[in-house]
Amino acid sequence: MKRIIAVSIIALIALALVPQIHFAHAQAADEKSAKQYINLRAEVWNEFFRMTTAAFTVGAVVSGTMIWLVWRFRESHPKNKIPTRWEKLDDPTTGTYEKEGGH
């Protein structure tokens, strides 16, 4: 679990940094080509495609994880026939016995 969290954090940082590097390059290029014509429409659509790529990448990771979770941890999965350790408790949702106060 910890490894997955670490990979997710690294992936998110990378996704945040990559556009910044791109913008820095673009800014440097702008300074060199000052007074040149900029096709705003093309720039905006480029921005759109970049952001959609980032959104779809994160979306694919999250959706893929969710689909796998749904498949793997469904109660009908062969590995999921045995009750979990929380199900022995009075309240599995808080992981407590009644004497400990429940919610």
Partner 1 sequence: MVLELKKPRPVWQIMFSTHHTDVGLLYLVTGLAFLFMAGVLAMLIRTHLFFPGQNFLISDSVTFNRIFTVHGLTMLFLFALPVANGIGNYLVPIMVRYKDMAYPKLNAIAFWMNPIGGALLWLGFSDTSWVSYAPYSVIRAPGPAADMMIFGLKILGISSILSSVNFVVTILKCKHPDLPLRKVPLFAWSMLTVSLMTLVAMPSYAAALIMLLTDRLGVSGFFNPTAGGDPIAYLHLFWFTFHPEVYIFLLPAIGMMYELIPRFSRKPLYSQGSGVFAFVMLGMIGFASWGHHMYSTGMDFTTKVVFMIGTLAAVPASGMHVFNFLATMWGGRIKFAAPMLFSVGGIALFFSAGAGGVLNSAMPLDFISHGTYWVVGHMHLFLTGTIAFGFVGMVYYIFPFITGRMYNEKLAKIHFIMMLWGTVQVFFTQHLLGLEGMPRRVYDYPAEYSSWVQLNQIATVGAWILGGGFVAFLINLLYYSSKGKEANMDDPFGLGGKYYYPHTAKNPHHIGY
How would you class 50 by CB atoms within 10 Å of its CB: exposed for 0-12, middle for 13-18, buried for 19 or more?
middle
Give residues 55-74 in contact with partner 1 (rule: CB under 8 A).
Answer: 55-56, 58-59, 62-63, 65-66, 69-70, 73-74
Nearest distance, CB of residue 73 and partner 1, angstroms? 5
Residue 86 interacting with partner 1 (CB under 8 A): yes
Reading the block at residue 90, the tokens are: 């009075």
Nearer to partner 1, 25 or 72 (CB): 72
Nearest distance, CB of residue 99 and partner 1, angstroms? 12
- Rounded CA-CA distance 51/58 in Å is 11
Residue 100 is inside which H or E element, if any? none
